[in-house]
Structure 1
Amino acid sequence: MNGGIKEEFSNAWSKPNNAVVQLILINLIVFVAARVFKVFFDLSGATDTFFFLFRKLQLPADVGSFLLQPWSIVTYFFTHYDFFHVLFNMLFLFWFGRIIQEFLNSKRVIALYVLGGLAGGLLYMFIYNFLPFYSDRVGESLMLGASAGVFAIVVGAAVFMPNYTFFLLFIGPVKIKYIAIFYVFMSFIGTTGANAGGEIAHLGGALVGWLYISQLNKGTDLGAWVISFISFVKSMFKPQPKIKVTHRGGNRRATTKGSSKSASPTSSTPQTEIDAILDKISEKGYESLSKDEKQKLFNASKK
């Protein structure tokens, strides 16, 4: 059994186009680790120490406090404490993230999640420090949770495929554009409530989701730098291949020609054709695509 779990966990990271599961796993690992450490700290009589350390993962509204823990602009959107908080965030990430992953590939799921989290955190700090309404909360306010990144994915999926339909329990079929509009509206009216900071972050993530897909449809990928940075970090932990140089007497043969013969030409779909397919999805839904158009979109998503 242990071997099976270990193998499944390893496969989740080696599988291509599997960003949704990977993001969910990271969030769950941080959640489980926090709760396990909490038990040990409680048993040792050091509960206050646990919460002191746990706060270092959360994003403070106060700029001075943030400058002492700048990493929190990233760690906060992988951190949860309440079970239902992480549960609902991960459910929404799974439902809506699969749409982005299937049609736009895994890299854009990650880009949307990270950009949404960053934008949500920055908007939260900006609003709390510049609007007098929140002035009495700045010093004590801390934020955690994946909601801003998840909202970016929810709104991004709704902008990309507005007529994609979910079947909701007790309600029936609902187009995802209406689900996104509902949750954005609820976040807006909650910006003066008990969870004001979180609701503001939701709006920041939602704005990124709309902007990202809108620009992507025009040929601009706002998340390219996120993917490049993550690829660079990953490359630092990959073992570099050993290069062995040998010298052999006799005739030398150029390998350029041989290598060029072995390479097979690959066909690519022009960006204009992909844009036309995306426009068709936006207007008529994914179901309106022909088999050939679906294949072209799938091939483009793997690049």
Structure 2
Amino acid sequence: MSIIDDIKRRYITGNIIEKLILINIGIFIITVLAGLFQKPYAGNMNFIAEWFSLDDTLSGLFTKPWSIISYGFLHAGFIHILFNCIALYFIGNLFIQYFTEKQLLNFYVLGTFFGGVLYIFSQSFFPLFEGKNSYLVGASAGISAIFLGIATYMPNYELKFPLIGYVKLWQVTAVWILLDIIGLVGNNAGGSFAHLGGALFGFLYVNKASNKEIKWFDGLNALFTKKEKSPLKTVYKSKEKRKSNPDLNQQQVDKILDKISKSGYDTLSKAEKDFLFRQGKK
């Protein structure tokens, strides 16, 4: 079996994550090959990257409306696509344990879309980008949407990392978001805005669809909030302890049964009858 046939088989039998990875790798190879054959005077970008990447202006979006989605399948280099594919594989497989493959594709595409929208907005209105020209490529916005989606749905899910141990998913996601926030003042500030746009979509969509309040920072609150002691807490614990003591309960039951055998049921007090009734329901 040839390599091409093996790739076809993997694509047909694979899940949506494997399909997306193969599509991204295939487009990357085509883009690299196109760059090798383009003429030297064609510029820094080959015609595929230029035609399908997202420009930093609103007018560019009107010229290439498909680029608001197509940029999410292009990558700037080998390291770029390598890390994105690794992230998509692990995050995506966690996502489809609780959601469908169709939902993952929706998160990828819509996360890419909203990431592109925030990218164009940032380029147009933030003084940081004044006088600079750029273009956007990469699957990171779609991956961020998937990541924030699953993290919002189950923030306390634990992941095991070598040399670290178990870490909650919301903690990993907080680091992910923090790196993008720091990146807003770096060389890839536009890309960081796109990542945050995809992440924001993933969070808001799951938060709205789940119809419940997502308490994201319970862990942080526990670290910095001092718990107040309640005088009722001791009383409650004491009551639970008496209820959970089978020996004490059994002694009282035996005492009541012994009284019944000697004097009859009618000689029991109301409290003794109620206690015997409660024990009989257990």
Count of matched residue pairs? 214
Kindly report the root-mean-square deviation, in angstroms, between the aligned alpha carbons of the 2 structures. 2.3
- Which of 177, 181, 185 is matched with 2:178 structurally? 185
Distance in 1 between the 2:205 and 2:42 partners? Answer: 42
Higher relative contact order (CA 8 A, sep 6+): 1
Q: Secondary structure at the match of 2:96?
A: helix
Distance in 2 between the 1:150 and 1:79 partners? Answer: 13
Distance 1:92 1:5, change over 3 A: same
Q: Does 1:10 align with 2:12?
A: no
- What displacement does 1:45 show? 4.5
Structure number with greater Rg is 2
Matches within 5 A, 1:21-40: 21-40=18-37
Matches within 5 A, 1:227-238: none
- What displacement does 1:100 show? 1.7
Contact conserved, 1:100 with 1:108, CA < 8 A, in 2?
no
Distance 1:126 1:89, change over 3 A: same
Q: Does 1:120 align with 2:119?
A: no
Moved more, 100-109 or 114-123: 100-109
Partner of 1:163: 156
- What displacement does 1:50 show? 5.6
- Which of 42, 58, 75 is matched with 1:80 structurally? 75
Distance in 1 between the 2:186 and 2:76 partners? Answer: 20
Distance in 1 between the 2:36 and 2:86 partners? Answer: 26
- What displacement does 1:36 show? 2.0
Distance in 2 between the 1:46 and 1:136 partners? Answer: 24
Partner of 2:86: 91
Contact conserved, 1:112 with 1:212, CA < 8 A, in 2?
no
Matches within 5 A, 1:36-47: 36-41=33-38, 45=40
- Which of 206, 217, 228 is matched with 1:213 structurally? 206
Deviations 1:33-86, CA, capped at 9 Å, x for gaps: 111222233xx6565386244222111111222222221111100001311111
- Which of 130, 135, 141 is matched with 2:130 structurally? 135
TM-score, structure 1 length as denominator?
0.65
Unaligned runs of 5+ in 2: 219-282
Distance in 1 between the 2:113 and 2:131 partners? Answer: 24
Distance 1:128 1:36, change over 3 A: same
Distance 1:50 1:199, change over 3 A: closer
Q: Secondary structure at the match of 1:26?
A: helix
